[in-house]
Chain A
Amino acid sequence: MRFVDEFRDADTAHALSAKITALCEPGRQYKLMEVCGGHTHTIYKHGLEDYLPEQITLVHGPGCPVCVIPMGRVDDAMALASEPDVIMTSFGDMMRVPGSHGSFFDAKAHGTDIRMVYSPLDSLKIARKNPDKRVVFMAIGFETTAPSTAMTVLRAAAEGLTNFSIFCNHVTIVPAIKAILDSPDLRLDGFLGPGHVSTVIGCRPYEFIARDYGKPVVVAGFEPLDILQSIYMLMLQLSEGRAEIENQYSRVVPWNGNTVALKAIGQTMELRPYFEWRGLGFISHSALKVREDYAAFDAERLFSVPGVRVADPKACQCGEVLKGVLKPWECKVFGTACTPETPIGTCMVSPEGACAAYYNYGRLTRQRVKEASGT
């Protein structure tokens, strides 16, 4: 596969690994955060940690849009799905996320019409095919996905559809990064910037990280070599005492982002004054809602949504995992009471969650890895 296979070459990986190790100052520990859930997934799926020296620890960040949805919003979505004549449509990742009364998947077993879609446009198709039903699209994701939702709303408006709306749970990445930077628990040396979010917002929004916090950022692609090269670039900056924003994923990420995408978002959505993030609490100006002009497509205005706040269960340490304070296996319920089969928290449910990635791919001690691969 072009633009994929070339970036998965094992020999180059060894070379990069050697260069990264060479840049490590003896006796110094490095903590690098990969913000994006997609990066966490790649790291575990390809066993990338095997290529890094002991001195470098990768800290998993909050860039998993499913993971940060609080239980109360899931309950709200379930309430919407249970409304008469509603067909709820959602990406696959949301299907198992537990609210206080089960997940979409459970609701489906009880007879609620909930359908998995690959694209918000599929949801529109369902709306066209079912004029007597009201179709709601569960819109989740960072700025990567918001433009697609926005374009879908614009299309719905252009076609004059009256039975389509979105339940908007889009969140923005920069406030989450800022919350991490301001957190006293963490001392990070650098960031692997979110690759696909940056195709929309560009690289400028991260400049404050270098300028105000003195930390380097490398916007990284999602293939294993992309990540290794980005780590190399971060280590180079650290060894040279620089703190800059660099773009490793330049084949896809334009420095100034995608203006058309930003315009579409701006036309249909606006920032909420504040929004609750699972584990991170309330963050101001961190999420999007539908603009007044497009009220006809806003499920929150068309339906009565409970809006109940549900506290994160005390046993659930998703918050700390999302902030990178805890490694998945350090959570007290990881793998025992909380498993992919019986998830308590979102980090275990979402394919991009750190806990799911670790449980499904990385649940091996370093010792066994050495023995197995004969290294």
Chain B
Amino acid sequence: MCLGIPGEVIEFLPDQPDLARVDVSGVRRVINIGLLADDPPKPGEWVLIHVGFALSKIDEDEAASAMQFLEGIGQAYDDELAALAESRIE
């Protein structure tokens, strides 16, 4: 029920301003973008899809900085592991 999936907006439907076609991993579905009326998504932008509606736009900058943080942790971990492997205390 909390199921929200990221999908990429492909195109709007002619004559139906509330609807857009999205792509989720090669699968395409028409969804309602009415909840984003204040700041409608453009083709190429990503949205969070829940029960046939777009609930929110996925902010690529925020996603990138989240990934940076996570990658940083990964890198720091790898560095530490490497340091651990190389260090000697005797």
* A/B: CB atoms within 8 Å of each other: yes
Q: Known: A2-B46, A352-B1. Contact between A147 and B53, CB under 8 A?
A: yes
Note all chain B residues with C-beta closer than 8 A to A121. Answer: 32, 52-53
> When each residue 51-80 of chain B gets 1 if its CB lies under 8 Å from chain A and 0 otherwise, what string results?
111011011101100110111011011100
Q: Known: A3-B6, A352-B2. Contact between A250 and B62, CB under 8 A?
A: yes
CA distance A17 to B82 in the complex (A): 17
CA distance A343 to B73 in the complex (A): 42
| A62 is an interface residue with CB less than 8 A from chain B | no
Contact indicator A151/B74 (Cβ below 8 Å): no
CA distance A86 to B4 in the complex (A): 30
Contact indicator A251/B59 (Cβ below 8 Å): yes
Which secondary structure characterizes the binding site on chain B?
A: mixed
Q: Known: A2-B6, A6-B67, A196-B2. Contact between A144 and B55, CB under 8 A?
A: yes
Chain A contributes a number of interface residues (CB within 8 A of B) equal to 60
Our count of residue pairs bridging A and B at CB distance below 8 angstroms stands at: 139
Note all chain A residues with C-beta closer than 8 A to B78. Answer: 11, 15
Contact indicator B53/A11 (Cβ below 8 Å): no
> When each residue 69-95 of chain A gets 1 if its CB lies under 8 Å from chain B and 0 otherwise, what string results?
000000000000000000000010100
B1, B5, B37, B74 interface centre (most CB from chain A within 10 Å)? B1
| A340 is an interface residue with CB less than 8 A from chain B | no
What residue of chain B has the Cβ atom nearest to residue A6's Cβ? B67
Of A2, A15, A151, A351, which contacts B73 at CB under 8 A?
A15
Note all chain A residues with C-beta closer than 8 A to B32. Answer: 121, 148, 151
CA distance A261 to B6 in the complex (A): 18
Note all chain B residues with C-beta closer than 8 A to A93. Answer: 1
> When each residue 252-275 of chain A gets 1 if its CB lies under 8 Å from chain B and 0 otherwise, what string results?
111000111100100000000000
CA distance A260 to B34 in the complex (A): 8
Of B5, B63, B77, which contacts A18 at CB under 8 A?
B77
> When each residue 11-22 of chain A gets 1 if its CB lies under 8 Å from chain B and 0 otherwise, what string results?
110111011000
Q: Known: A37-B2, A250-B62, A260-B34. Contact between A15 and B76, CB under 8 A?
A: yes
CA distance A222 to B51 in the complex (A): 16
Note all chain A residues with C-beta closer than 8 A to B37. Answer: 260
Note all chain A residues with C-beta closer than 8 A to B6. Answer: 1-4
Q: Which of A215-229 contact B (CB under 8 A)?
A: 222, 225, 229
What's the minimum C-beta distance from B33 to chain A, rounded to whole angstroms?
10
Q: Which of B18-43 contact A (CB under 8 A)?
A: 24-25, 32, 34-38
Q: Which of A89-143 contact B (CB under 8 A)?
A: 91, 93, 118-122, 140-141
What residue of chain A has the Cβ atom nearest to residue B31's Cβ? A119
What's the minimum C-beta distance from A295 to chain B, rounded to whole angstroms?
23
| A195 is an interface residue with CB less than 8 A from chain B | yes
Note all chain B residues with C-beta closer than 8 A to A251. Answer: 58-60, 62-63, 66
Contact indicator B38/A259 (Cβ below 8 Å): yes
A-B contact pairs, 7 of them (CB 8 A): A3-B46, A11-B74, A36-B2, A251-B60, A252-B56, A252-B58, A260-B34
- Chain A residues packing against B (C-beta within 8 Å): 1-4, 6-7, 9, 11-12, 14-16, 18-19, 36-39, 41, 63-66, 91, 93, 118-122, 140-141, 144-145, 147-148, 151, 194-197, 199-200, 222, 225, 229, 248, 250-254, 258-261, 264, 350-352
Closest 5 CB pairs of A and B: A119-B52, A38-B2, A15-B77, A3-B6, A251-B63
